[in-house]
Structure 1
Amino acid sequence: MKTIRGKLTVYFIVFIILFQVTAISIFVSSNQLTNTYHDSFEQFLLLNSVAQKSEELYLRTKTVVTNADKENQASYFKAKKLLQKDKDRLTHLYADTPKIEIKNYMNLLETFIYESELTVGFTLQDDIEQYTTHLEETRITASYIQAAALEIIDVELTDYQAFYQNLQVRNNHFFVFIAFLFITTMMLAIFFALWFSRGITRPVQQLSHAAKQVAAGKLRGEPVHIHTNDELKLLGDTFNHMRANIDELVTEIKDQSELDRLIKEMELKHLQNQINPHFLFNTLNTISKMAFLEDARSTSNLIDAVAALLRHSLGQIDKSVPLADEVAVVEDYFHIQKVRFSERVEFVLEMDEACMDIELPKLTLQPLVENAFIHGIEEKEDGGRISLHIYQSPSTVYVEIKDDGKGMPPERVQQILSLSEQELPTDEHAGHSTGLGLSNVIRRLQLFFQRTDVVKIESVMGEGTTIRLLLPKQKGEK
């Protein structure tokens, strides 16, 4: 993951390299101009120095002719050495030049030095005729050297004029380059500054807007999408995760609150319906024992079924129970209704024993079976049939409660599934032994399994209704 510090470091390094390259380019260009100017100026100085040393050597030659003592000879040889040294430098400096003026000038220097050597040599031999002749040649050659130096300087100045004009052009180009570099650098700096600042301020603004939404209670807004690969992306992902967690927590709290309300409502209805449970249980047990002693086995079994059903419905409602307990209560309810209605009502129970261990909220199946009986077939004169079918798939246990009663219209089915209890008719619970209706059971199942698709209702007017429970084997499985 890239960091903001790393990005800043890269940007600064790029700008530093850019400025260094520019500075080096400017330095190299300026150095080339300076070297060219230095070479031209050095040529002028060397030509002037050669002319002066030629004049000096001629004077030292005349001094030796006049007075050939050792001191004057030493001065001569020193002046000749200095001139020879400048001549060698001049030869090296103009080694690649094809100019005829330079070649003639070099020949004049060689001739001048040679004539001065002959003059000094014949002076030391005291040959007056020879040294007089060569001294005159030396003087004439020295004058030629002065004239040739002026000619070469004039030629060099002519070339230098063109060089100077070129220097002015290059100087103008250099100024344009500096201006272009300054403008380009400023534009790049502004571009990178805006681009980089946008990469920081835009995600911060998104996070700020999302934080205001959370503060206003809007926990399910659009997630913050940050496409940078730095700390801001980590911050945005963490914020989205935090908002999702808060939303889940709030939803869980609301669900728990609603579940508590439903339980309290159930408890209140139970309290309204119960008349001293212990007294009632003891009374029913006494009646059952008396019926058994009087050999009224059917009456005794009926009383036991009523007692078991009442005991189950008046227990701790907020506890979950195995499916087997709910099926046992349904069987007791079936027994009671069979005694009441005899052949008018047919009850069918089909179940897979391997499904009986799954947990579900207490008082789930009996209210649904009772609802099918009361609203489905109780009013039918020719009776009806209610079936309870339990089977399973690899991930789900299915519980089907089916009746062949009068059925329900689609809007009634939708009203029940929407869980809008305030819109339900006031007689929804009428006649129920537990006081619990379809909406209460459905909502408790949804809260218990933490999913909404736990109940499906299929109903056709005049043909009957099928209520199918989809119980996941793993609680909370989506």
Structure 2
Amino acid sequence: MNKIQKKIWMLATVVLVIMGIIWIALTYYNQKTQNQYNEILQRYIKMNEVTSTSQLVVTNLNNYLLEPSKANLTELNHSKENLNRVKDEVLSLRNTENEFDLTNYMNLIDSLIETTDRSLMFYSEKDTEASDKEFTEATRISKYISDMTLTLIDTELKTYDRFYRGIIDQSAEFKKLGIWLMLLITLLLLMITYWFSLSITRPVQLLTRAANELSAGRFDKEIKVDSNDEISFLAQTFNRMRININNLFQEIQQKAQLEHELQQSKLLLKESQLRNLQSQINPHFLFNTLNTLSKKAYLEGSEETSDLLVSVAGLLRYNLKWLDRAVTLRDEVVVIQQYMNIQKARFTDRLTLNMEIDEACLEVQIPGLTLQPIIENAVIYAVEPREEGGNIWFRIKDGDNQVIIEVEDDGPGIQEHKIKQIVEGELVQTDAASTGIGFSNVVKRLKLFYGMENLMDIQSHIGLGTKVVLRIPKTRGIEENAKTLDRG
């Protein structure tokens, strides 16, 4: 049993002891008063029994004289025995107040018995007149006994009148004493309860104050609780926890500082890697494009050739100017249109481009030269190898917190293991016909740019075409991380 439980049991024991003492005192007083009442009542009953027994003796004597049977004689003798018995019991009621009256009372009882015996004797001797005379005397004595009983009872009432009044006064005083006693006990219990509750609540208040200090970030204040119970042990444990939290907090601060410095180094490294990746451009595309332009200039007039040259110039200018920085989707769409103008000139009706663009999404930031490699991949693998050419669908949709970009073709599809390598950024682009910034390069640049994984999803089935889905967040992850680190 713990110490707090002992305190509770001690308080309960004190309350039970006090209530037990009160109950015993009240029971003793009530029993004492009841015994006194019973004693007085028994005196009245015994005196009244003398009257009824004496009258019964006279009645039985009369019955016997009228009908001298053995049964009537037995009843008469029995009533005389009862009269002698109650006489002895009344004799025990003698006191200084009724001594004279009680002596006369005893004599009357003896006279009644003697008169009854003489009446029986004369009756047995056939002296009817003498027997009737004695019977009349017995009746008169019985009446005297009744009158004397009333006198004795009246004397008893006068004798115990003071006793009755004393009991009434004592009861009133006892009520007052009970009220004061209950008030005193209530006050005592309140004091004990207050002391007991204080021994528990004061340490709890100290713990609460210490908890508030800890919640406010003050870990240097020692917790002291002077109580010899479980709360003191809890305070000691709480104090050890405070020390451990303080040490841990200092360690976390040091680690956070180191992590901040490390994160800054990682950001610098990522930017460096991004620039390194963006610097990888294959000039073969330029040669291929110029070759196409030369053939066009030879076969057609100068107007279309001029448009192609404008598109090529814009594409080259974009590559040289924006390859190492973020651009908007609007810029990327313009580049794609310029690129597709060049490819349509090359493939004519074999290439069909369908564009669905949500204008509200075109201000979102994206790494430069991200979408052209994906479109270019579709042209190289879905259109160029096929004599009938192919179709490409380019869509930009709003997806709440992100922009969804889809590039879909109806080409031969991509094998699963290559899809996995592309998404994980492990596939090395070796095709000389592309710009050199292939799928894997795009995946790496997006991860570096946004600081996130799973930005690209490729859905493809052999013979049924390929769909590349980019889910671009509207807020750049690296910028948000940098802001968070600055705030930290």
Structure label with greater radius of gyration: 2
TM-score, normalised relative to structure 2: 0.47
TM-score, normalised relative to structure 1: 0.48
